[in-house]
Amino acid sequence: MQLPIIKTYNPTAKKEPFQFYVLNKGKNSGRPSYSPNPNCFVVSCQSSDHLQDCYTICFVLWKGRSFERFLCGSVIEFIRLKEFQSVLKQALGQLAERRDRLVKVSSLLKKLEESEQRIFQQLSLVKQMKVSLVTELFSNG
């Protein structure tokens, strides 16, 4: 699989058709997104299929915490462009023949994220119910 063109995001630059963005600062460095962020890289692909493959690989790498070992900086951590390119290039090389496995893992990761979000919502509701019960106890007395 061919390596996409990766540059630092410039808000004044023209948006091209097959692009996505990757956060490059903070604990979530490496997280892909379809909308730009002030601190991100622009990944430009050749086609829609190439875009989807590269986005999926970045998502899987981010979820697998593959970028964490390359983070540097003492206050605000960040990943350098060359290191990001290196990790992505290595992953693209390894997964070129195993596209079906990549799609399956990506799908499972997304389902797990959805489940995680539902659990967080349920925990939030439980906390609200606890506060409500205690408030009700002291307001009626």
Residue ending a domain, choose from 82, 97, 112 = 97
Structure tokens at 77: 């951590």
Task: Count CB neighbours of 95 within 10 A.
Answer: 18
Query: Are 85 and 48 in the same domain?
Result: yes
38-62 pLDDT tens trace: 889 999 999 988 888 889 889 889 9
Task: Count CB neighbours of 89 within 10 A.
Answer: 14
Average pLDDT across the chain, whole number: 89
Query: Are 103 and 87 in the same domain?
Result: no
Coil, strand or helix at 104: helix
Structure tokens at 37: 């962020």
Percent of the chain with pLDDT over 90: 52
Closest by CA to 44, choosing from 70, 14, 80, is 14
Q: Which domain holds residue 107?
A: 99-141
Give 46's DSSP letter. Answer: S
Query: Are 104 and 93 in the same domain?
Result: no
Stretch among 39-43, 66-70, 89-93 having the lowest mean pLDDT: 89-93
- Give the model's pLDDT for residue 141: 56
